[in-house]
Structure 1
């Protein structure tokens, strides 16, 4: 992997992925809605640019110029509509397929759309936090969109364990499919698993989950 473009590069998870990629010597472009000079604590060596996942033409142009593209954009948590982020992914799927992109597409998913040991989505389980319900609903639909995407698109989604918080990477991590392998993951561990997958793909056109080892 030579180049990586990260949408949401200043967010909690996106910034960790950006930093891990830069530390591995990857040529990283960090896309943020902020002006580049407004980025707090920029990662050394990263080129920051202004952009938005909703600008389909701009995303498609950046996908055409990179080896891998990461979308680390959370769903709404302020009571606003889930539709804009869902529509953005739908438009991207269509545009990237029409373009014939060869970039690997990496989506940061949401834990609320993964499954409990009882086989129901966390978002539908009793006691699931109301503040995260809309975000979980959006990622359930976004995953369905990518699963139905044309076979030409090489995508993968990585979701965190039910709890994620800033922190350094652990010495090891656990991977699973629909049900989390553990209850907690740090952003550092998440970023390590993300870059390991981008460098040596082991999952294609599917979602997997990471937890601290």
Structure 2
């Protein structure tokens, strides 16, 4: 049993990840901005504690992560420019986790940062919708920050396939890891429950290190 801190625990990926980790017997600290809005999260599974925290503030990250074995971030903000939020979060996680003595970090990324050909991510393809590009660029900037961190931070960004992410779909366990290329994927959707299982698998038993890796079925 491990102690795992999950940032962005109130979102779709965060909730599924909290429940998955707790179901495996881990002690989970679920970090949200306003715990009063997430009373149901603490009741979702045994071993879950909901606390207030700010993933973009290194001191806050240190305070909530201290004493944990690993960290997961599924955090996102739609009311803040993506490049500002994701780079601030990456820097705060790197600095805050180092101060807390936590070396393993698994981050949920986005499929549009995966490459269609070497050096060409989906968001740089000609037909990519302009409205979605800033959010993808924010995730790409986050990757740049993580790649520049001290090598003692064992980070991993897991990107689901660029398809509909299903909040209601059951966990199948039928997922596989790839690399930074767009993976072949069966079906038109991918379950958040399977994404959460992959995230917790990589938190429990790290196989990929300091890299962007796809996960698909």
Indicate whether the TM-score tops 0.5: yes
Number of aligned pairs? 209
Helix, strand or coil at the partner of 1:123: helix
The Cα of 1:81 is off from its aligned counterpart by 5.3
Check whether the contact 2:108–2:159 (CA below 8 A) recurs between aligned residues: yes
Matched residue, 1:196: 201
1:208 aligns with 2:213: yes
- Structure 2: how far apart are the matches of 1:181 and 1:127? 19
Q: Which runs of no fewer than 5 residues in structure 2 stay unpaired?
A: none
Give the C-alpha shift of residue 40 in structure 1.
6.0
1:1-213 paired onto structure 2 within 5 Å: 1-35=1-35, 37-39=36-38, 41-42=40-41, 43-45=44-46, 46-74=48-76, 76=78, 80=81, 82-97=83-98, 99=99, 101-117=101-117, 120-163=120-163, 164-166=165-167, 167-183=169-185, 184-212=189-217
Deviates more, 1:10-19 or 1:43-52: 43-52
Deviation per residue, 1:19-53 (Å, 9 max, x gap): 10111111011111122x32164222211111121
Q: Deviations over 1:112-168 (max 9, x none)?
A: 111125752111123323343222101111111111111111211111111122221
CA distance, structure 1, for counterparts of residue 197 and residue 88 of structure 2? 29
State the Cα distance separating 1:79 from its structure 2 match.
7.7
TM value normalised by structure 1: 0.88
SS state at 2:45 partner? coil
Check whether the contact 1:7–1:53 (CA below 8 A) recurs between aligned residues.
yes
Aligned CA RMSD, in angstroms, stands at: 2.1
TM-score, structure 2 normalization: 0.86
1:94 Cα deviation after fit: 3.6
- 8 A Cα contact 2:7 2:73, kept in partner: yes
For 1:52 and 1:79, the matched residues in 2 are separated by 14
Change (3 A) 1:65 1:121: same
* Runs (5+) with no aligned partner, structure 1: none
